[in-house]
Amino acid sequence: SDLQKQEERGELLQPLGFVLLVLCSVLLYFKVSLMDPGFVKSEEEEEADKSEEQSMVIPQAPSLIKLRRCGYCMVKQPMRAKHCQLCQHCVRRYDHHCPWIENCVGERNHPLFIVYLSVQLLVLLWGGQVAWSGLSFEQFWDWLQHNILLLISFFLIVIFTTVVLLLLLSHLYLISCNTTTWEFMSHHRISYLRHSDLENPFDQGVVLNLWRFFC
């Protein structure tokens, strides 16, 4: 591959850059998977009414929207929180439970999850280019003998790149609308959305939505 040829010539800048990018991806994976996604704790019950999301919810009919107590962990759920039965906790601004990281994606780790997906996409795109550069097109059997592992790697990288790209784009779209995967998929089941006169009472425009999410 190109990286191997550069390493053999003593040109270490790109090989080291690739290794550091992969290492950064691995560290981000463990950080996102091990950190608290925003678990609701019992001491937060009194603060739930004062949460920032509460001030944004449906001023036309405030009496219809009441905080509910979780039937599983018995904490008072802030707006946009949901109980995850896999994590056994209520998660603030719950997005989804990700089997890839074996953790919930919620208020605290959602921005870092987007960074992780972006870095992972760069790793896959660069890895695909490296795998393609190592393929040598000769007579079929000789070519297959020398390239079978690289060929398998390339096709796997293409599959994972497609998955990560679609996942990243879908999350960026939802973030730009200030909605979550759970709210998008279960709009008809969520009381504060079902009783709202607005389709999305949290939407404040693309620029402000992105600013509030990442900053």
pLDDT digits (tens, 9 = 90+) for 161-183: 999 999 999 999 999 999 999 99
* Residues contacting 209, CB < 8 A, separation 6+: 175, 176, 177, 178, 203
pTM for the model stands at: 0.81
Q: Which two tokens stand for residue 125?
A: 């795109």
Quick check: is 198 in a domain? no
Does residue 72 share a domain with residue 161?
no
Does residue 169 share a domain with residue 138?
yes
Q: What is the pLDDT of residue 134?
A: 74
pLDDT band at 46 (very low <50, low <70, confident <90, very high): low
Quick check: is 187 in a domain? no
Does residue 160 share a domain with residue 145?
yes
Does residue 49 share a domain with residue 7?
no
Quick check: is 184 in a domain? no
Q: What is the pLDDT of residues 60-76, one digit of tens each?
A: 434 455 667 888 888 88
Of 181, 202, 52, 53, nearest to 114 by C-alpha is 181
Catalytic residues: 98
Mean pLDDT, residues 4-12? 76
Of 169, 185, 179, nearest to 201 by C-alpha is 179
d(CA 82, CA 181): 12
Number of domains, the chain: 2
Range of the domain at 87: 38-53+63-105
Quick check: is 193 in a domain? no
* pLDDT exceeds 90 at position 29: yes
d(CA 169, CA 174): 9
* pLDDT exceeds 90 at position 139: no
Q: Are 159 and 73 in contact (CB under 8 A)?
A: no
